[in-house]
Structure 1
Amino acid sequence: MENIVDPILEIKDVSISYDKKVTAVKNVSACVERNTITAIMGPSGCGKSTLLRAVNRMHELYKNISVTGEILLNGENILTKDPIEVRRNIGMVFQRPNPFPTMSIYDNVVAGYTLNGISLSKHKRDDLVEKCLRNVALWDEVKDVLNKRGTFLSGGQQQRLCIARSLALQPDILLMDEPTSALDPIATKHIEDLLVKLKKEVTILIVTHNMSQAMRISDRSMFMFLGELIEYDDTKRMFESPKDDRTRAYLTGQMG
């Protein structure tokens, strides 16, 4: 971690508790480099998604969850900022594609502006919709049906639409919680190829159960176990020579 000169995100001694008895994430510290893909791996219930959601303040939508420590985006602690502003800078894509069901494909892309009361001219809106849909390789497939509902698309197309919606606000970071686990192999490959291209524009953190996916697309990987960050390294190095026995057991399939 010490070789990251200009981190976009610094997680400092972060712990997350669901109540006084259950600590889901324990004293995690890590720096994330700009324009990289970082995979967060580990068995079910190890705190991966919990950590990811803390980075855009999702936990505040629920009672009883407490977050301690600091999460710095470009040097500023997001835990002390307005959560709405934080979520403009840090986009989130979930496991299941979730286009807004009553909105057209066009309106889904600009939903972030509409919901935040940010007005754009028709010309700017049109340009933004085309640019974001081109960015996710969806424009040619939907340009003639932009007024149809987003839910009319296939699962893989819906997930690309959700990524386009997240990119529209030009976030610094895109968080992805197992974004391909509900998709078939062809749609998964589309999304993976897309993420590798998108890292030129946005830093990506992806929670994945799929180790081969982490190998294929991530620059760095975190391995979490029982709420702790066990190992964090260059992906290739971690897979070839993990430093911790627990990491090795997970990567070789000896741990669930």
Structure 2
Amino acid sequence: MTDVQELAATLDDAERSVRAIAPLTDGGPLGVADAYRVQRAVLARRTARGERLIGVKMGFTSRAKMVQMGVDDVIWGLLTDSMLVESTLDLSGLIQPRIEPEIAFLIGRRVRSAVEVDAAVAGVAVGYEVLDSRYRDFAFTLPDVIADNASAAAFGVGAWHDPRELGGIDNIGLVLEIEGRLTRTGSSAAILGDPMRSLRAAARLAERAGIPLEPGWVVLAGAATAAVPLPRDAHVRVSGAGLGSVAVTTV
């Protein structure tokens, strides 16, 4: 029988002590349903310490990643206010950070089901997500990464844009630069063919979990390129055609 609270404590302690650990599945089998229970238990520990839920992040939103992991659906994790970066990110609290360019959605009103989510979008922005697996060498199984909140660590978003004025977001070019050097280029089409599909999947999974998407929440739709290692003392910028840019400096 899975001890959800014990596994949650193991992950939470690893993150707080900035220490990589072996995958949870090394200690015994862990099913997907129990992995999500562990994820929720970890977030419950964090909210008990004062953090506040402010959104959702999607994972495995590229077909290649799904094939690699042997899955046929996306995964998701939760975002808290402590993960939102304004301009500077201290990497001392992270184990093995990586960064990837994203498309982000702003939820304008409460969403209880997937059929409601399209009309609830109040803004679209270019963004980035910082990943940080608590497992050594970023090596894990599907249940491991789900339990680890889909490797979520930090995120940032640029200025919000009215989705009605964009004329579609299914093929927005995205660029990731580190220290002024072009590091990755991609398209929002890499996110399930259209980031709107990822948004609807977020609403579907949230509905299944009994967690409504709240006004003001952010949904990170998924990565437009593969993640790259995030160095210390670097200026990073992500830009999207028609969406402007967002930047972060690491220390």
> What's the TM-score, normalizing by structure 2?
0.25
Q: Could you say which structure has the larger radius of gyration?
A: 1
Higher share in strand: 2
Higher helix share: 1
